[in-house]
Every structure is written in C-alpha cells, then in structure tokens.
Structure 1
Amino acid sequence: MAAIISRSTTSPSVSASSVSASSAVPSASTLPTSIKSKDSNPPTIPPTVRFTNTQDLFDIINSTTGDFLAVTNVSPNQFTEIERERDTGRKTGQKKRYRKFRFRRYNANSQVLIITIPTDLHEALHLGLYTPYLRSTTEEKWKNIGSATFRAEHGHPGGDGGEGDSTGGPRPERVGAGNWPTLVMESGHSETLPKLHKDMRWWFQASNHEVKIVILAKFDDQQHHILLEKWEEEISSPQGAITRSRAAAILQQNSVLNPVKRQSITITRDETTNPVSYNVTRGALVLGFRLLFLRDPDPQEGDFVLSIQDLQLYAENVWAELPRSD
C-alpha cells in the first residue's frame, strides 16, 4: 500500500509551451475520425483539424477513439465559446453531443487547441497514481482541484489556458478562484514524450511557479512500457569561473527557476512468467511533503510514497485498459 514517510525534500521551470499549426489540415467536417490503437502497434498520430464551428468540433470529438485531438484556427473568443458550450452541455446532461473532454492546452498566439479525450487507458495512467494519494490525505488538508481550467494571464496576453488530468493543492493556501495547484499529473498515450515535456514546462511557467510538482505518465507502445517522470524546479547552479560581471548577472538571474527531473521510473511487463509480472526500475515514486503542502510536516506527516509493489499493481491496472486488436 502507499505509505507516508518523513523525509526532507527539495523544491521547484520555465519555457513557454506552444504548438505549431499545420499549414494544411482538414476541417472539422472532413476529418476521418476512426483512430485505432492496438496492443502491438504504436498509436496513430493524433489527428489535426481546422476549427469551423463548435457543433462540427463536438461531432469530431464524439467519434474520435484516440486520446488527443489538435484543433487549429481557434481564436481566443472561439476558445471561450467552446468552453462555454462544453460546460453548458455538462450541466444540462447532453451526453451524446457533449462527450467528456478536457482542454490540454490552448495557445493564443498559434491559435491551437489541444484536446484530451479521456480513454480508459488515459485515465488509468493518471488516476492510478492520484487516487492512492487522495486516500493518504484528508479533505481538511487537501483540495482536489481535478481538471479545472487555468488561465495563464501572467505574461500571456490573449488567454492561454489549460486543464490538467489530475490536480490539487493544500487547504487553505490553494482554495478559491485563481489559485493554482501544487501538484499536477498529466498522462499520455498517443501524445509524445516531448509534448508531455512542453506540458510540464507550461504548468511551471504559466502558474508563475506556483505549481511545485508535475508527474508525467506515458504509455509507450513502441517500447511497450510505462514511463513515470517527476519534475520539480530549482535555481540553476553557475558553471565555470565566476568573474565580478558574471556574479552580477547570476544575481540578476537568481529568480529564474528551471525544470529538473527528480525521478524517472520505467515499468515493463514480462509475459514469460506465470502469472504475468511487472518490473519496476529505479525504485518507488516519492512526492515531497513540503512541496505539496508548502510547510514542514507535523510529527505524524511525511512524504507520500508509492512503493514498487504499489507500482506493479498500478501497471497491471493500466495494461488491463490497453485496447486489444481483434
């Protein structure tokens, strides 16, 4: 089972995330929407469509079987309209038209909207990590923010925005409108690892470094493994000799934080054993208490730890959701 241990932790990326639109993409009304993912083959590259109107976009989302969709030519006003229509559909229960989806990222400059369509595999990748964490804490201490929409107003005129797969932060520090989570989890199946890294950087920068930990969970069909990465931020240490002029420059840059990969865990499936087994490399997943709660732990509190045994069970549950070929 997941454990809480007392352990000292270190702390907190920067680099804007943007997605380049394709110069020639189909419109939402002409996109072929059947996207199959097989156990033995890499997933199809996420489709890209040009935005025409909200109704056509929702129709595409309804019929897409992958977990990502890129939409180009979405103005800030149109992004607001899509968000309003989606949320209205949720409230009125129009499930057929308003299939559940999240805004992975919206970049106002490129006018590209990346949509997450939660498949069973996609959800298992992040909920299998976040749900045990929720069980380890209490509602009095932790606010489950879920997939709320966050706007990157700091240095991002025009309305950049995004929604995490699983997010949360401490009470009372991160409760209320405009407060960013301290923990973000993002998962991907058809999304590439470099794009997940852009997502990670966006969270750190867009939140003005209010986000403290980003967990990435990637299912890699080609390597046939799950990759977990834990990212935090730190001030970069200067390299080489420090002259007087360089010292002044370092002091000026001292507020610049950079993303640091604290952990990289690979989980593979071994089908030669009976029953099937799961191999976890590089140990347990550890989330530091101080970064999560923005304070020192009390005597009965400590870091959150998903042990190797926990991660093996997690992997078994993820693989169970993998689409199989007929």
Structure 2
Amino acid sequence: MMLGLEYFSFEEQWSPLFFFFMAAVVILYFYLVGPWKEKHAAAAPTVTGKQKFQFISAAALFYLAQGGPLDLLGHLTFTFHMSSMAISYLIVPPLLLLSIPEFLWKAAFGHSFWRKLRVFMNPIFTLLAFNIIFSLYHVPLVHDYVMTHYTIHRLYYVVLFVTSMMMWWQIVAPVQEWARLVDVKKMAYIFANGLLLTPACALIIFADSTLYATYNDPQVWVKAMGYCVAGDPSYLLEKFNGPSFFNIMKPLEDQQTGGVIMKLIQEIMYGAILAYVFKQWYKREHADSDDDLPNPGPAGHAGASS
C-alpha cells in the first residue's frame, strides 16, 4: 500500500480546479511585477529572481498542502494533516511576504482607508489572534466540527491564513516604513509565538488517548472525506474499514507524530528567523560601536610622534 493514494482518482488527488486557480495567481504575480510595474511603478527596484522563486515556491507548497495530494492525505492520517497545517501557516506566509515587492504592498494597502484598520495590525493583536485561532482549532470538539462542516471549514482556513499573514508581517516586515517591531522587540515577538503555540502541541503529543473523532470514528471520518471526494462519500465505508485502513501507525502514535511534526517545523522556522534577526541586530550594534570609536587622523599620528 502506497499511503492510500492509489485508491483515489486523479481529480481527488490533485484538485484540478484549485491547481488552475493557483496557476492563475502565479500568472497574475508575474504580470504585476513585469508589464504592470513598467507602466505604473517603473522607478521601483526590479523584482529579483530570488523573490520570484520564493513566490513560486509559496504557491506550489500551498497548492500541495491545500489542494494537492497532501490535502487528501491529511484527511486520511493526522500526521499528514499536521504537516499540511505547518506548511500552510508556518512556511508559506513568510515566503509569500518576502516574494511580493514593496511597491505592490503600497499599491494594495497604501490608501488612506487602510489606516482605519491599523488597530488590527497591532503586534499584540496579531500575536494573539493567530495563536488563539490556531490553538482553538486543535481543541477536539472544534477540530471535528470544522472538519465535518464544509463551509465552516473553508471560512476557518481563510481566517487562519489571514491571521498567519498578519502575524508573520510583524516578523518579516516587507515594507520597512510600516514595521512596528525592530531588533530586540522582534526577537521577543518570535519567542512569544513559540511559547503560545506550545500548549496546543503539548496537548496533542502528551495525550494518553486519541482526541479526534475525524481520525478514529469511521462515521465522522467518512463525513470529513466528503470534502475530498465527489458525491456521497459513504461508499468509502463499504470499501474500507475507516481511517485505520490507511494508517501505518497506531492511532495514538499517528496523533503524537503529528504533534511532533508541527512543533518541530515551528521550532525550525522560528529558530531560523530568530537567528537571522539576532545576526542583523548584532551587526548594526557593532557597526554603531565602530562609528563611535575615535578616528586617528594625521594630527593623531603627529601627536604620537612628538
């Protein structure tokens, strides 16, 4: 058995409509940083190859996590579900923020209208909004409800993605003049994010029993699978004996592995960003210190000689 994907159709694995939507987004991006920029922002710096690669990577990862095979696998095992969540909300947002050039951010959010909503970009608000919504999602009753009610599922994921972008904005700050955090405050913000995410991961990792009916109750599982397969998903129960058919681990091990993966990816992402921010701060501090040192000129040398 190869993860169970062989039992599903090409359309169920690859979500062609979502693929074409993401392809359209990529085409729009290249139009905006190419022909549109030449007409409306010719003086702006040229978008780098690195930024274009970051955008394509973000789009590809988001498609795989939310519409490709990883999305389907995330409905079969909790481990893949948490992998999808980590990619969607911890890896894709910073890539996306870094890939979009400053002139596009200013064109989109530079209007005076957005100033009325600046309160929602307060670092404390964005910190709490993302972590509360993300942690609340992993409360068993909430998780199973979201996974089995498709409209709520879509809306919750949209809100989660938006709040993740708002949270990462404080760290990445693609428009420097709009940044609210610098240096030590930014490092404290990153540390606080890791701290606030820990209880949800701990709940999953250290639970002594399975928490989510979506991955343990065949009736709940088959209802959740309606998000991935066309028509009435009840045929899945006739063909398989529930999610356990696809899982190579015991249910509790699958749950714990998912929690470990989420925490591990979070630690790697936040750790790497924290190290980068610290390095930049350290360089600036030492550059300022060097500027304050006396500069021995000709007079200084003459005085020393005499």
- For normalisation by structure 2, the TM-score amounts to 0.28
**Higher helix proportion, which one?**
2
**Higher strand proportion, which one?**
1
- For normalisation by structure 1, the TM-score amounts to 0.26
